[in-house]
Amino acid sequence: MAEQPRLVEDHIRKNKRDTVLICMFMVVLLFSVIFAIGLVLNAPPIVTMIIALPVSLFYIFITYSFSVSSVIAAAGARPANPQNREEKLLIYKVEEMSLAAGLPTPKVYVQDSHDINAFATGHKPDDAIICATAGAIQKLNTEQLEGVIGHEMSHIKNRDILVMTVTVGVVGAIALLAEIAIRLLFFGGGSRGNRRDSGGAIILVIAIIFIILAPIFSRLTYLAISRKREYLADADGAYLTRNPEGLAQALEKIKADFPDDPKGSKTVAPLYIANPFKRALRDSIWSTHPPIDERIRRLRSM
Amino acid sequence: MDLLLIAVILLIVLIIVIILLVFWGIYNRIIRTENQIDNAWAQIDVQMKRRADLIPNLMETVRGYMKHERGTMESVTNARAAIMSAKTPQETNDASNILTGALKTLFAVAENYPDLKANQNFLQLQDELTHTEDKIAYSRQHYNDSVLVYNNTIETFPGNIFANWMGRKARQMLQVPEASKEVPKVSF
């Protein structure tokens, strides 16, 4: 037992460090966009900062506040029924994992879908929800289900819901700012006349291109963060259960099982243990989740 | 010259502030990780109490069926009583492990009594007790995890300096029951 925590710990430490780096990059990106907008609109950076920053923060805050209810509604999830044998087992597993994690027991929900999947949501660890699909509780055995729930509990413990929702908010804010800037630029372009020298024009062009590309960069960064957090939840979950093989087997079953009724909007995808949408995009940089084979490989190397 | 002096003084002040912040951080971390252990123990306690509460009911239910298994039944009631007199977490945990073993034996013996196994009340209690044992196992795991974090904090540098000054020593982990090194998995 003494060797395992260290190996898993290394995974955990690496993923946490990567997250911090990527998040810092996101913040830099946001400020760069605001600065570029200032350049392009020929307004002093202070002015654009004062206007854009509160708007961004407000947008992020709103996204975060409504995240829980919108996710539950989008999934069509209902509270688990203790009278049902399988759902009772699910409730037991959530209780056990919360004890292992040292957290209050989250509420347990079920999504009536044949796919094998699960997600976690909630504003704080004290106020969290774990939801599994009917497919998951029927098709997974006890160890595999435990691996999945361990993974979800780790998302709660690591405050991934906060991290991912705020990141989505930042992505949205960048897109919003970029859009406003482009519109202002093309509909109120009088201020451009002030730039006479070619040096200023080049900077202007670069700034405009940057503003156009920024939403794409921020989205790619968000997806990179999402994948890192998934690896982290895999590692932490394996530590909670002391049984990486359980989750590895569950992932194998998920891989073999083709999703046939993904529900809800795509924004809820990152919260799931496996991407319920668009199988084709699953293993690219556009994916919210790391490739399943790689996840299984890492788990089995622990 | 004046400017240099001011710069040096500011630098010293900055270094002192940083050192104080680090001290603050380490001190708090030691306190927090220690409280985490106590919190983890409180959880184990809750689960053990739950188990203790379920046992009289279980004994009542099996008494009529398992008339010739007094030894087995007594081990359970004795083990349950022994937990009360334990003082340290280690003693309590050891006594708890004995009870875990006694219950396992009881349920194994119950396999020979088909009438008992058909009894709904018994099945429900068996279900709940097994689930409670699982919860005790996970709570103990969390306790041991917390002890590991705490021990790491006070044994590595620079925490060890603080720990000495604060009079804190490394804590012991709880033993896992002998018979099964892994958490009893419930299979439905």
What is the pLDDT, as a whole number, of residue A188?
60
To the nearest whole angstrom, how far is the Cα of B100 from the nearest Cα of chain A? 17
pLDDT tens column, A279-297: 544 456 677 788 888 888 8
Q: How crowded is residue B13: how many other Cβ atoms within 10 Å of its Cβ?
A: 10
pLDDT at B163 over 50: yes
pLDDT-derived band at A276, boundaries 50, 70, 90: low
Show residues of chain A in contact with B188, CB under 8 Å. Answer: 85-86, 89, 142
Each residue's pLDDT tens digit, A28-55 = 888 888 888 777 777 776 777 787 778 8
Give the residue from chain B lying closest to A5, CA to CA: B145
List chain B residues with CB under 8 Å of A92: 131, 134, 186
DSSP helix/strand/coil, A128: strand
Which burial class, exposed, middle or buried, applies to B71 when counting CB atoms under 10 A from its CB (0-12, 13-18, 19+)?
exposed
Which of B 5-64 lie inside 8 A of A, CB atoms?
36, 39-40, 43, 47
Using CA atoms, how far apart are residues A42 and A193, in angstroms rounded to an integer? 10
Report the distance separating Cα A246 and Cα A111, nearest Å: 22
Q: pLDDT value at position B40?
A: 93
Distance CA A296, CA A282 (A): 15
* pLDDT digits 0-9 by tens, A71-109: 788 778 899 999 888 899 999 999 999 999 999 999 999
Question: Interface pTM (ipTM) of the complex?
Answer: 0.80
Please check whether residue A231 is in contact with residue A15, taking contact to mean a CB–CB distance below 8 angstroms: yes
* pLDDT at position A192 over 70: no
Distance CA A61, CA A64 (A): 5
What domains, with CATH codes, occur in chain B? 37-188 (1.20.1440.20)
Residue A97 burial (10 A CB sphere; 0-12, 13-18, 19+): buried
Q: For chain A, where are the E strands, in sequence order? A: 77-79, 107-111, 118-122, 128-133
User: Is residue A131 within 8 Å of A111, Cβ to Cβ?
Assistant: yes
Q: Which chain B residue has its CA at the smallest distance from A91's CA? A: B131
> Does residue A258 or residue B91 have the better pLDDT?
B91
Res A198: pLDDT: 59
- How does the average pLDDT of chain B come out, rounded? 88
* Whole-prediction pTM: 0.81
Query: Residue A70 belongs to what domain range?
Result: 1-302
**A96 annotated active-site:** no
Number of domains in chain A: 1
Contacts of A102 in chain B (CB under 8 A): 36, 39-40, 43, 142, 145-146
